[in-house]
Structure 1
Amino acid sequence: MVDRIRTDVAHNARVWNHWLGGKDNYPVDRAVGDHVTALFPSIGEVARADRAFLRRAVTHLTAEAGIRQFLDIGTGLPTAENTHEVAQRIAPDARIVYVDNDPIVLAHARALLTSAPEGATSYLDADAHHPREIVRAVTGPLDLSRPVAVILLGILNFVLDTDQARSITRDLMAAMPSGSYLVITHPTLELGGEGNVDAMAFWNENATPPITARSGAEIRSFLEGLEILEPGVVSCAHWRIEADSAQPPMVAQYGAVARKP
C-alpha cells in the first residue's frame, strides 16, 4: 500500500483536507490547493458548504426518512461530522460502509471511523468507476433488501465521461430497493462558478485525479427515474437550510437528494 502513496503529486482527498483546515496533507497538496484558491477564491467555501450539506442530508435521511444504512462512496479523509457520526447520533444502530481507493484515506478511515457499538462502520477499498463490484462487496455489510442511502459527494466530477457517470448512478441505484436514496454534490460553472475554468485547468495539469464541471441539466440526468426531494437540484449551500440559520452565500456546487420509488 505504501508504494501507492504519491507525495510528489497533489491528490484530491488531501487538498480537500487542506481546504477544510486539516493537517493530513503534504506540501505539494498545500501548494496546489493555495494556487487553486488564488484562481477561484471561493473554493474553501465550496468545501465547507459541501460538508454542511452532508450533515443536513444525513440528518434528514436518518431522522425523517428512517434510513439506517448508508453507502458513502468517495469518502475522502475523515474530518468533523462524518456520515456515521451524524447518522449514529440519531440512530445508534445505523450501518455505514465507506468506499474510497486512496491508501491514505484507507489508513485514516480504519483508525478513525469507528462505529457506535449498536451499529457498524466498515471501509471498502474500491473504485467508484466499478459500481457493480462495489455492490457485490457491500452485500453482507449492508442488507440490500432494506433501503440504503447512496452518497456520492464530489465524486462524479472525477468521472470525466458523462455517459459513464450516468451509468454509475444507474447501476448503483438499480441494485438498491424501493425507498432508497441517492445523495449527490457536483461542481459547476453555473451558480457563479464561471471563474472556476482556469482553476480546473490548473488542477488537471498539476493534480490527480482530473476533474470536470457539469451543468444543472447534466446533474439532473443522474437522477432520472428517481423522485427529487425539494428544493430540487440547487446550490448545496442552500439545500434545506435550518430554519434558524442565516442564508449562506451561494457556492458553485450543486446538491440534491432523490428517492427511488
Structure 2
Amino acid sequence: MATDVTDDTKGEDDVTDNTHPPTGGSARLNTSVAHNARVWNYWIGGKDNYEVDQQVGEHVATMFPVIREVARADRDFLGRAVTHLAAERGVRQFLDVGTGLPTVDNTHEIAQRVSPDSRIVYVDNDPIVLVHARTLLTSTPEGVTDYIDADVHDPAAIVERAAGTLDLGQPVAVMLLGILNFVLDTDKAREIVRELVAAVPSGSFLVLTHPTFDAEYGGEGNIPAMEFWNENAVPPITARSHAEIASFLDGLELVEPGLVSCSRWRPEDGSAAVVPQLGAVAVKP
C-alpha cells in the first residue's frame, strides 16, 4: 500500500519565525515509477515510499546486498561531517544540495545542536521532497533554515537564491552528498562543483559522497545494479572511480583521512566495514 506522503508533514506551530516558506512550483508526484529519494528512504528504514519503490529497492538489494549498508553509512557520514565542521571548525553556514527526504538528524538539527545560531539552506528539486519541506523548515530561534526548489545542474540559481539566507562572505559548508552521481557527464559535474566552490570564500568546505565501482571498495556490483536502476527508476545514476571522484576536489585541501569509504571517515567504530561509497571533507584555501 502506498504511504500517504502528507502524514508526516508538520503543522504551522512547528515552524519558527526563522524559516522561509518553500519556494518553487507545486509538487507533482509520479508514484508509478520508482524514484531515488523514496527508494533511498526505504533502504534506511523510512516510511515515505510506495510499493513501486519497495519493489525496485528490493530488487536492487538482491542484486547488490550492500546497498542498505551504503545508505546507512552515507547518512552516518553526514552526521559525523556536520558535527566535525560545526564543533571543531566553527562552521555556522551549510548549503545542503540534494537534500533528500527528511529523516532523523537532518543537517540543521545536527548543526544547531552544536551551535544554535547555525544557518542552513536545503536545495532539491524533487517534488516529494518539496512536499515534505516543512519538516526541514524548523529552526532554533537563534538560527535559520531555508529550502529552495532548484536543480543541481543550475548552480548559478542555487547560489543566487542561497544568498538570500546565507552570508556568502563568510565560510559555508557546501554539501554534495550522493548528488553528483545524478550528473552523468563528469565534466559537467566538475563544472558544478567549481561554480559552487567559487561562490564561497576561503575557509569554506566541500562535503562530498559518491558511489564507486572500484573493486577495492567492493563496488563492482554497482554496475549491474545501476543498469537495472536506469531501466526501471528515475533519475538515472552513475558510479565513478576514485580518481574521477577525487577530481571534484581539485584545488581543495583534504581533511584527514582524505577521500575514503564514507564508513571509514572518522568513524566512531574503527571496525566499520568498507562500503562502495566514497566520502571526503575538504577546505577551500
> TM-score of the superposition, structure 2-length normalised?
0.89
Shift of 1:5: 1.0
Residues 212 and 278 in structure 2, CA contact (< 8 A), matched pair in contact too: yes
Shift of 1:152: 0.3
- Aligned-pair identity in percent equals 69
Q: Provide the aligned length of Structure 1 versus Structure 2.
A: 259
Q: Distance in 1 between matches of 2:82 and 2:27?
A: 35
1:148 equivalent in alignment to 2:189: no
Q: What is aligned with 1:200?
A: 226
| Unaligned residue ranges in structure 1 (runs of 5+) | none
1:230 equivalent in alignment to 2:263: no
Q: What is aligned with 1:17?
A: 41
Q: What is aligned with 2:238?
A: 212
- 1:5 is aligned with what amino acid? L
> For each residue in 1:84-127, what CA deviation from the matched residue of structure 2 results, as whole angstroms up to 9, or x when unmatched?
01100000000000000011101212234411111011100000
Q: What is aligned with 2:205?
A: 181
- 2:225 is aligned with what amino acid? A
> For each residue in 1:16-54, what CA deviation from the matched residue of structure 2 results, as whole angstroms up to 9, or x when unmatched?
000011110111111100000000000000000000000
Shift of 1:15: 0.4
Alignment counterpart, residue 99 of structure 2, candidates 75, 78, 98? 75
Q: What is aligned with 1:131?
A: 155
Q: What is aligned with 2:7?
A: none
Q: Distance in 1 between matches of 2:26 and 2:234?
A: 17
> For each residue in 1:187-238, what CA deviation from the matched residue of structure 2 results, as whole angstroms up to 9, or x when unmatched?
0011111012111000000000000000110111001111011111100000
Q: What is aligned with 2:193?
A: 169
Q: Distance in 1 between matches of 2:270 and 2:255?
A: 22
1:249 equivalent in alignment to 2:273: yes
1:107 equivalent in alignment to 2:124: no
Q: What is aligned with 1:40?
A: 64
> TM-score of the superposition, structure 1-length normalised?
0.97
Q: Distance in 1 between matches of 2:258 and 2:161?
A: 31
Q: Distance in 2 between matches of 1:253 and 1:246?
A: 17
> For each residue in 1:41-72, what CA deviation from the matched residue of structure 2 results, as whole angstroms up to 9, or x when unmatched?
00000000000000000000000100000000
Q: Secondary structure at the match of 2:132?
A: helix
Q: What is aligned with 1:60?
A: 84
Q: Distance in 1 between matches of 2:152 and 2:280?
A: 19
Q: After the TM superposition, which segments of 4 or more aligned residues of structure 1 sit over 2 Å from their partners?
A: 1-4
- 1:86 is aligned with what amino acid? I
Residues 113 and 121 in structure 1, CA contact (< 8 A), matched pair in contact too: yes
Q: What is aligned with 1:8?
A: 32
Q: What is aligned with 1:86?
A: 110
Shift of 1:81: 1.3
Residues 78 and 113 in structure 1, CA contact (< 8 A), matched pair in contact too: no
Shift of 1:3: 6.6
Residues 72 and 151 in structure 1, CA contact (< 8 A), matched pair in contact too: yes
Q: Distance in 2 between matches of 1:113 and 1:79?
A: 13
Alignment counterpart, residue 73 of structure 2, candidates 49, 53, 56? 49
